[in-house]
Amino acid sequence: MALMPTVTRRRAAAALTAALLLPLAACSSDDTTRDTGGSTASGTAPRAKLTVLAAASLTDAFRTAGAAYEKSHPGTELTFSFAGSQELVAQVTQGSPADVLVTADTKSMDKVRADTGTPAVIAKNRLVIATGEGNPFKVDGLNDLADPSLKVALAAPEVPAGKYSRQILDAQKITVNPVSQEPNVRAVLSKVELGEADAGLVYRTDAESAGDKVDAVEIPDAQNAVAAYPAATLKDSENAEAAAAFVSWLSSPEARKILQDAGFQKP
């Protein structure tokens, strides 16, 4: 029997080896993508599980935005932690693991400048007076909040909404003795919804989120304050590329429409 030439045998062996290794290489590639945060099938952003620290007033809008982002970025999972901006800043300074920070004012973001990337303002907001359904106490404006018989809830002084509230009240020389000072603006809204307060200063978006449970009394622009919402990546994020992609998306037309539908204003 004739022997197969040496070169022919080597080529046949190489072809067989390549055929056997190809499926293994494919499996290895898939596993590496899952384990190391490789790109999604669409290649639009890395796969990652992101933790986003966000101001309480963004709760409803960001839940909608998060669902939209996950749908258009397969493989990315968003977990939101909503609280007053001062609480979020404390979490960052204490080293709580997170990837993105969004506050309700620039001063809060400035406090953790060394821990973040360059922030970008993604939206703005304004205050309104929230009252019970039907405005039973006939609150017409800021001056009515000085009535000692009216139970008024405000956000605490260290909370952005509380700072804005005192800023506009002081500018109008209006003294208000609140029945409570809450840790975030959503807690103020809850007091009004439950009837534990007759009125409270909240963001326009918060009043809109409550639907028919509260009435919103508009405050003229000349007497109001503008709240700016900066977003930034956190330098200690283990998912820096994915975090940057989400922060960038927050300034996209899709994200801005979601925010504006929730009552936020353009940056």
β-bridge mates for residue 83, sequence order: 55
Asked whether the predicted pLDDT for residue 21 surpasses 70, the reply is no
What pLDDT is stored for residue 44 in this prediction?
55
Cβ atoms < 10 Å from Cβ of 151: 19
Residues 69, 142: one domain? no
Residues 164, 234: one domain? no
Q: Is the residue at 255 inside a domain? A: yes
Of 32 and 155, the one with more pLDDT: 155
* Angle ∠(234,109,66) on CA atoms, nearest 5: 60
Percent of the chain predicted with pLDDT > 70: 83
Residues 207, 132: one domain? yes
Lowest mean pLDDT among 35-49, 138-152, 159-173, 206-220: 35-49
Asked whether the predicted pLDDT for residue 62 surpasses 70, the reply is yes
- Give the mean pLDDT of 52-78: 97
Q: Is the residue at 39 inside a domain? A: no
Residues 135, 222: one domain? yes
Q: Are 201 and 208 in contact (CB under 8 A)?
A: no
- The mean of the pLDDT values for the chain is 87
Half-sphere exposure of 63 (CA within 13 A, CB side): 8
The amino acid sitting at 260 is Q
Q: Is the residue at 8 inside a domain? A: no
Q: How far is CA 247 from CA 99, 117, 189, 199, in A?
A: 10, 10, 28, 35
| 3-class SS shares of the chain: helix, strand, coil, % to 5 | 45, 25, 30
**CA-CA distance, 168 to 142, in Å (whole number)?**
9
Asked whether the predicted pLDDT for residue 97 surpasses 70, the reply is yes
Residues 130, 201: one domain? yes
Residues 210, 79: one domain? no
Q: Is the residue at 40 inside a domain? A: no
Residues 210, 257: one domain? no
pLDDT category of residue 70 using cuts at 50, 70 and 90: very high
Instruction: Find the domain containing 176 and state its range.
Output: 125-226
What CATH number is attached to the domain comprising 143?
Answer: 3.40.190.10
Q: Is the residue at 1 inside a domain? A: no
Please tell me the pTM assigned to this model: 0.81
Q: Is the residue at 111 inside a domain? A: yes
What pLDDT is stored for residue 47 in this prediction?
79
Q: How far is CA 190 from CA 30, 197, 210, 228, in A?
A: 47, 9, 9, 23
Residues 153, 212: one domain? yes
Query: Considering its fold, how many domains does the chain have in total?
Result: 2
Residues 129, 222: one domain? yes
Lowest mean pLDDT among 40-44, 67-71, 253-257: 40-44
Asked whether the predicted pLDDT for residue 238 surpasses 50, the reply is yes
What pLDDT is stored for residue 45 in this prediction?
59
Asked whether the predicted pLDDT for residue 24 surpasses 50, the reply is no
Q: What pLDDT digit, counting tens, does each position of 1-14 carry?
A: 444 443 334 344 44
Q: Is the residue at 144 inside a domain? A: yes
Residues 256, 180: one domain? no
Q: Is the residue at 194 inside a domain? A: yes
Q: How far is CA 19 from CA 11, 24, 27, 52, 117, in A?
A: 12, 10, 14, 45, 47
Q: Are 240 and 109 in contact (CB under 8 A)?
A: no
pLDDT category of residue 46 using cuts at 50, 70 and 90: low
